Structure 1
Amino acid sequence: MAVVRSMPTEEAEALLDLTRELVAKQVAPRAAADEDAAQFPRDVFRTLGAAGLLSLPYPEEYEGGGQPYEVYLQVLEELAAGWLAVGLGVSVHTLSCYPVAQFGTDEQRAARLPAMLSGELLGAYCLSEPQSGSDAAALTTRALADGDGYTVTGTKAWTTHGGVADFYTVMVRTGEPGPRGISTLIVPADADGLSFAAPERKMGMRSSPTAQVHLDGVRVPLADRIGEEGIGFKIALASLDSGRLGIAACAVGVAQAALDAAVEYARERRQFGAPIADLQGIQFMLADMATAVAAGRALYLTAARLRDAGRPFGKEAAMAKLFCTDAAMRVTTDAVQVFGGYGYTTDFPVERYMREAKVLQIVEGTNQIQRMVIGRHLTRP
């Protein structure tokens, strides 16, 4: 289905065309088989890195793409429409790089970002713990000051790319209980004392490993702390504001893929002597699905433009994450309904879209948390 998008420059339009070509040739064709086999597509991320798609919203001086968030999110949408594990993986990698890019020193940015953004390295973001998911400020992973660094002990949970990432952006407790005692460290995958549990067995996103990360006396130099000690929770929240827009864009991508599949099927499937697309009941479903997709896209782009303009966008990011992911769940469920019994089989992709959409209502802050965030913005000075 043709989609009219906002492209500020010819360069951005070319970037989106490149993304579509890569998705059509190297991403979408292998999605179903790799999902069935729970095969992580590390080579795809290297390809995307070589094409410049892992670096889009970061400065050119550090080998970034220098693109506005508005453009980056539309690229994410295309990637997620082809394969959510890839689109979400790029979003998580971007989230993992954000603390260095935004809060690191000039020396840290120069030393780390080029490798992070080139595709040479893949990142993971470690905030949640087994007993502190939505209540992230209650994390207990402890980093004890030890000479010129820290010794870190604890367990992180629900880590996308856990066990396959090359570096981990880890929120740790360096001080008092609560949000003011949290700091941010970068931990390389080969650090002594770092290990990983077996990947979680999930209903969807099987090719994207999600695993606990165990830190048993991991030694982290002081130079690998990002920002001042005690501002880690501020870094985490700032990262999540941007990351939620990535989830919103991925949700719209999955919903668009489900809508396209449903429209195509409705045109071809014949019942009562005519295509089911001629039935008013089907047309109304497709109309509602298309409206939800368009509304979600407009919402995340509006939030992205605020971010690009340097204006506050936290409330709008929460709104976009909430609306787009709920819409993706409805649209994918309706797509299965359009397919009827066939939609419940693995012969068609809509059942996979439906399973994938569910996790988007949970990751990077459940939609109940998004409602709390929005409510606080509305009711507090």
Structure 2
Amino acid sequence: MVGSEGTVSPSDDELDEFRRGLRRFIEREVMPFERKPMSEDERGAIQRKAQDAGFWLLDVPEELGGQGLGLAGMSVFWHEVSRTIAVPARDHTLFGPTTGPILQSLKGEQKARYLDPVLRGEKQPCFAQTEPDAGADPASMRTRAVRQGKGYVINGVKRFITGAEKADFAQVIAVTDPAKGARGGISCFLVDMNTKGVRITARHQTMMGDAPCEIVFENVEVAEENRVGAEGEGFATAQRWLTEGRIRHGSRACGVAERCLELTLDYAKQRKTFGEPLAERQGVQWILADCFTELHATKLMVRDAARKLDAGHDARTEAFMVKVYGDEMGFRVADRCLQLHGGIGLTTELPIEKFWRDQRSFMITEGPSEVLRTALAKQILREGLK
């Protein structure tokens, strides 16, 4: 069944079959690398196997050579791939290049110069929106793109940009009309990283193990042909990407919580204290019951939001809730499972401590919980309960 914008909307039976196959693939091919580095040769071998198994370019439309999965299908992928720490939390290129709504919308010369090379693995993109003073509030960004002749001159600073050090070009969100702001005053540009005036000035080592970059744009000249869509459409385009990203957050939280719970259930049955297994203690049982209940609720929320977005409905409210509830649920479950494992949970012998660190970060990045709660409340107050 085909959903909105040419994406495939699979049935529940098809999603279950997809999930089972993907889980087998990840457990067999990927999980062995949880505690040892993956060499480039090994990574390449897994990528080839992923292509052969049909787990390649899953979110790319079929007309571009991908699988064309909608968000319902991608939520299954994000869930399953997040059950292992062998795949970086913010990098799923083991299963194909990252594109997203902006690049997938390109046509003509832009498509030939930027999207096609990404799909062939010849170029890598990064997404540059966050700024030092405009992270949770992108509408207050200061990076400006000023008209000059037949093009634009960009000045500004972007911070915490994942993958910028390896990127060939950036998808830069910049202000073109300060008077309009987020309502038609922000545009998107494709900027080659080797353009004069583009500099990476810092890398911030995080507790998750990654190192996002700071990019300075100083009098960077960009041709009008490098603007994506019409002037003023950049904010709406970026927000569509972020809305989809919120489904990814909730899906990831489900994968993390599920794996942590699986490990903890096994541990609680075998670990004895004061003569009886942890699993026999009511305090432990209640913790496990709460974790399972919250995980189940998040799965339902993700499925509901993904289906609505695939059908072309406005599901911003659902997406807000999925990210806030999902991110916090994933951290709570990881935290409780780490606690129940005791000292062994603090070691790197188990993946729980890495899940715990990564999941804590998601409550801040790509929309802090507090900001999204405020946005959700304003929407509820404005539109009421539907």
**Residues 233 and 340 of structure 1, relative CA distance in 2, 3 Å threshold:** same
Report the CA distance between 1:43 and its aligned residue.
5.5
**Residues 33 and 320 of structure 1, relative CA distance in 2, 3 Å threshold:** same
Aligned partner of 1:297 among 299, 308, 328: 299
SS in 2 for 1:125: strand
Establish whether residue 227 from structure 1 lines up as the match of residue 233 from structure 2. no
Aligned partner of 2:27 among 16, 24, 27: 24
| Partner residue in 1 for 2:314 | 312
**Residues 341 and 86 of structure 1, relative CA distance in 2, 3 Å threshold:** closer
Is the CA contact (8 Å cut-off) linking 1:95 and 1:125 kept in structure 2? no
Is the CA contact (8 Å cut-off) linking 1:77 and 1:251 kept in structure 2? yes
1:204-215 equivalences under 5 Å are 204=208, 206=209, 208-215=210-217
| Partner residue in 1 for 2:125 | 123
SS in 1 for 2:219: strand
The one-letter amino acid of 1:279's match is R
| Partner residue in 1 for 2:195 | 191
Structure 1: segments with no counterpart, 5+ residues: 1-5
- 1:68-104, Cα deviation, whole Å (9 max, x unpaired): 210111101111111285353239x9985212334x4
Report the CA distance between 1:147 and its aligned residue.
3.4
Q: Show structure 1 runs of 4+ deviating over 6 A.
A: none
**Residues 251 and 9 of structure 1, relative CA distance in 2, 3 Å threshold:** closer
1:365-376 equivalences under 5 Å are 365-376=367-378
SS in 1 for 2:91: helix
| Partner residue in 1 for 2:82 | 80
Aligned partner of 2:247 among 222, 245, 248: 245
Structure 2 Cα separation of the partners of residues 33 and 191 of structure 1: 37
1:275-354 equivalences under 5 Å are 275-354=277-356
Structure 1 Cα separation of the partners of residues 159 and 51 of structure 2: 30
Structure 1 Cα separation of the partners of residues 219 and 90 of structure 2: 30
Report the CA distance between 1:153 and its aligned residue.
2.3
SS in 2 for 1:86: coil
**Residues 296 and 211 of structure 1, relative CA distance in 2, 3 Å threshold:** same
Report the CA distance between 1:281 and its aligned residue.
1.6
| Partner residue in 2 for 1:98 | 101
Report the CA distance between 1:323 and its aligned residue.
0.6
**Residues 369 and 188 of structure 1, relative CA distance in 2, 3 Å threshold:** same
Is the CA contact (8 Å cut-off) linking 1:48 and 1:119 kept in structure 2? no
**Residues 86 and 108 of structure 1, relative CA distance in 2, 3 Å threshold:** same
**How large is the RMSD of aligned CA atoms in angstroms?**
3.1
| Partner residue in 2 for 1:266 | 268
Structure 1 Cα separation of the partners of residues 86 and 330 of structure 2: 12
Is the CA contact (8 Å cut-off) linking 1:161 and 1:210 kept in structure 2? yes
SS in 2 for 1:81: coil
TM-score with structure 1 setting the length = 0.86
Structure 2 Cα separation of the partners of residues 172 and 44 of structure 1: 39
SS in 2 for 1:82: coil
- 1:260-291, Cα deviation, whole Å (9 max, x unpaired): 12112112212233322222221211111111
Report the CA distance between 1:359 and its aligned residue.
0.9
Structure 2 Cα separation of the partners of residues 55 and 328 of structure 1: 26
Instruction: Percent identity, please.
Output: 29
Structure 2: segments with no counterpart, 5+ residues: 1-8
**Residues 297 and 11 of structure 1, relative CA distance in 2, 3 Å threshold:** closer
Structure 2 Cα separation of the partners of residues 65 and 120 of structure 1: 20
**Residues 201 and 72 of structure 1, relative CA distance in 2, 3 Å threshold:** same
Structure 2 Cα separation of the partners of residues 200 and 49 of structure 1: 32
- 1:170-213, Cα deviation, whole Å (9 max, x unpaired): 10122225223211012234434333244312122x1x331212
Greater Cα offset, 371-380 or 193-202: 193-202
Report the CA distance between 1:145 and its aligned residue.
2.6
| Partner residue in 2 for 1:200 | 204
TM-score with structure 2 setting the length = 0.85
Report the CA distance between 1:238 and its aligned residue.
1.9
Report the CA distance between 1:247 and its aligned residue.
1.4
- 1:234-266, Cα deviation, whole Å (9 max, x unpaired): 222222111111111112211212111211211
Greater Cα offset, 44-53 or 147-156: 44-53
The one-letter amino acid of 1:212's match is E
| Partner residue in 2 for 1:175 | 177
Structure 2 Cα separation of the partners of residues 147 and 90 of structure 1: 40
- 1:321-350, Cα deviation, whole Å (9 max, x unpaired): 011001011101101111012212223221
Greater Cα offset, 366-375 or 186-195: 186-195
Report the CA distance between 1:9 and its aligned residue.
6.7
- 1:106-146, Cα deviation, whole Å (9 max, x unpaired): 65446643443455544322111011111211111122333
| Partner residue in 1 for 2:11 | 8
Is the CA contact (8 Å cut-off) linking 1:57 and 1:66 kept in structure 2? yes
